[in-house]
Structure formats: C-alpha cells, structure tokens
Amino acid sequence: MSGPADGPRGRRVLRARLSDSGEYVCGHGLPKLEPFQNAAYVGGVAFDCAAQLRAVSLRVTRPRVAVLAAVRAHPHVDTDTVIGLVRADHPAVSHQAVYDVLRALTSAGLVRRIEPAGTTARYESRVGDNHHHVVCRSCGAIADVDCAAGHAPCLTASDGHGFVADEAEVVYWGRCPDCMHSPTSEGSR
C-alpha cells in the first residue's frame, strides 16, 4: 500500500509502508517520513504505537501516534506537556486535536487518565493492571506503585454493597527523595 488515496468524506489518506531497511516511506514521490517522529524509539520498537492503534480499531494518524508516543515516553504527563511534545514535531496539530486524541486513546484503553486530588489530569500508558500512585506534596512528582500484595487485594472491599469492583484507585501522598533532601521544599501542597 503506497501513495495517497481518497478516504472518507473525500479526504486524502496517506498510504505508506515499512521498507526492508525499517524506514517508513511514502509512495508516489512523496518525501520520506521519519517513523512518526517520537514513536520511533519508544519502547525500542519503531512502529508499536501504530500497531497498538490498529489493535483497538483506531485509524493510524500522525496526531494519534505522536500523542501515544508522548504518553509512553513521559509517564504521568499532563495535557499541556503532551501538546508541547506533539507540536514540537508536528506544529500543525491543534490543541483540540490533542484533547480529542487523548479522549479517544483513553476510551480505547490505550492510556489511562488519572487525576490525584488537587492536580491536573495526567495520562499514562500503563494500563490493564491494578496499580496505584504516590504523589509528592512538594513538587507534584508522580510514580507508580504496584498493588500491595497478592492478586489485587484492594479490589476486595470490606463491604462491596453489591458492586463488583474491577478497579481501585489508591493514591499515596508524601515527599519524593529529591524534595526530602532539598532545603527549599519545606512546604507542602
């Protein structure tokens, strides 16, 4: 598959292929594309972002690949940072497009939106497991924390009130190692 073709609603759809040398190339004399810029080295696999999009029946577009690559490369990233990362390589991508892509990726289960109390929404690509987060009260740093012990013990509520829990959200708060050793971060959030 190569070259542009007419897509839905008469839009031009860019068709490209992976060459024998592992480069992403376009047909019909179009310029060679880098492997969707940021996606090329995320996780050490050149096109895994595209494959992930296809696996959940999402069309592979530059904005989707760029947003997914940004979230994969920067765990617990906020929307403004994603916009900056995407627009650094793709200046034509609008703020609204990034918001729309984040919403689509979240709905498809490729990214998870977290929003610890008092912070802006953050996105991460670690999905499908029941992990939690620790948040620094001083600098706002966020890190993943695996479930305490056993097979997701926090999913067994003392009284489930008839609900079947499939996810639990636990947020630990404290100070990160950098802030504990920094004399300028005595305050807390």
DSSP per residue, the chain: --EEEE-GGG-EEEEEEE-TTS-EEESTTPPPPPSSGGGGSGGG-TTHHHHHHHHTT----HHHHHHHHHHHHSTTEEHHHHHHHHHHH-TT--HHHHHHHHHHHHHTTSSEEE--TTS--EEES--SS--EEEEETTT--EEEE--SSSS-GGGS-S--TT--------EEEE--HHHHT-TT--S--
* Binding site listing for Zn(2+): 136, 139, 176, 179
* Binding site listing: 136, 139, 176, 179
